[in-house]
Structures are given as structure tokens and as C-alpha cells.
Amino acid sequence: MAERLLTVPLLTLLLLATACSQDTGAEDATSVAAPELGACRLLAPDDVAASANSAPTVDCAEDHTAETYAVGPLPSELDDAAYDDPDIGAFAYQTCTRAFMNFLGADESLAMRTLLSWAWFRPSEEAWDNGARWYRCDLVGGTEEATEFVTLPETAEGLMSSGVPDDQWMSCVDGEAVPGAPRIPCSEDHTWRAVTTIKVGAEGDPYPGDRLVEVTSRDYCDDSVSAWLGYPLQYKFAYTWFHEAEWKTGNRRSICWAWTTT
């Protein structure tokens, strides 16, 4: 992932329907049984970096930072796959991404601009050796850059179905530049807001290379942010673009940021 910040001077064109589980208790990490759909947990960023997770569930009416929104078997063609086979990750990325948008009621643009994100887990290595072949997608209260996750509502289902989600769930930055800055809720004081996303390629297209993706992102975000701001004579914008690894998983969008306090 890469980001660039550009300033546009005067007259110059530059630049996650299930109810939460009420069960509690730690899961058996060696069990081959699939996890429970709708379960809630108190997860931290370190937890989602792991391949497997057997953290205890909590009552969804109580504080929690994760909600399981999709569970299912892996495709049969992966039955004999190695535990760390990249095809498993590719399947999980596609499956969890689609389910994340459906669960939240978000389109691609909203899903990329929210502070919410998702993590996926597979069985433990011992359970895998015993024949377990399932995936678990958890909606979590923060992005991969977060140092801690925020508390979620009792369920996040349909949280963005109105198309105009609450600012507490949307990504902003407070600082002079977007690159490297921590994402904060737009309900807090901020200087940058993620306002749109733009497509830089179609499904099935080969990766066009870093330079072309960056230039396309810059040019499209210039126009997109200008339109979002109402075509002012002077404005600043930034953009977040992604590399070949993300392209291979299916991402064809870049994020456009506007300098704004609203």
C-alpha cells in the first residue's frame, strides 16, 4: 500500500442477518467442528495477526471488539492443501470481503473507507491435521494499523445499509499528511477524510504496474475530490493506492482523501 499527498493551487489542475451468540467460554482449539456464526469476542490487533484463534466468546450485549459474520467449509479442492497454502488465503479474502460488505450493507467504496475491517481464521494446525477444513470471518473494530480495537454495537449487521453511516465508523486523519498517520473516526476533529474510492482496473485485468496505478489514482482522485468538494478553485487531496499483492486478491480500487474539517 502506498499513499501520496498533492496540493492543487489556484486554477491549477494537479493533483462488515445473524444474532450475536449468548454463549461464553473458550473454544477447544483441537476440535474439528466449525465455529459458531454470530459469536462475539474481545480480540486485540495481535489476535488477528494469527492464523487461528480460539478466544472465548462473550455475550454480544456486553463489550466486544469482534463479531463472527461468516463461517463455512473450505472448497473441496483445498482438502489436501498445505496448512499455509496461499490458495486458502485467496479464497478467504474473496469470501470474507463479499460477506463483509453484505453484512454491513456497504458497497465497495464504503467498505474501503470505514474504520471497521475484518480478519479471517482457519483451524489450529492440530485440528487441521485431524481433518478440520473451515474458515471464520470476524468483523473487528479497527483497521490493520490500529493499536487497539473499539467496542462494537451489539451487532454490526446493516450498520451501513442507509448509505450514510455514522461518522464514528468512517476513516479520517488529523495531521498535515495522510501517509503514516493513524486513522481516527470522522466524528473526532480531523483534517483529512476518505471521501471516495476510484477503480483503477477491471476484474481479470493483469496488474499494470506500480507507476500506472499510482498515476491513474492521482488523476482520478484529483477529479473525484474536486467534485466532492463542489469544484473549489483551491483544494488539497491525497490518495492511497495498492500494489500487485492486493491486485491479485481482487482489489481494483484506490482511496481518495480530501483536506476538510467536515
pLDDT tens digits along 177-226: 998 888 999 999 999 999 999 999 998 899 999 999 999 999 999 999 99
pTM above 0.85, yes or no: no
- Per-residue pLDDT of 147-168, as tens digits, reads 899 999 999 999 999 888 999 9
pLDDT at 81: 94
Say what the alpha-carbon torsion angle 70, 71, 75, 81 is, to the nearest 10 degrees.
110
d(CA 176, CA 160): 29
Quick check: 73 pLDDT over 80?
yes
Quick check: 1 pLDDT over 60?
no
| CA terminus-to-terminus distance, the chain | 26
Cα angle for residues 189, 194, 197 (degrees, 5° grid): 170
d(CA 222, CA 205): 23
Q: Residue 25 forms beta bridges with which residues?
A: 57
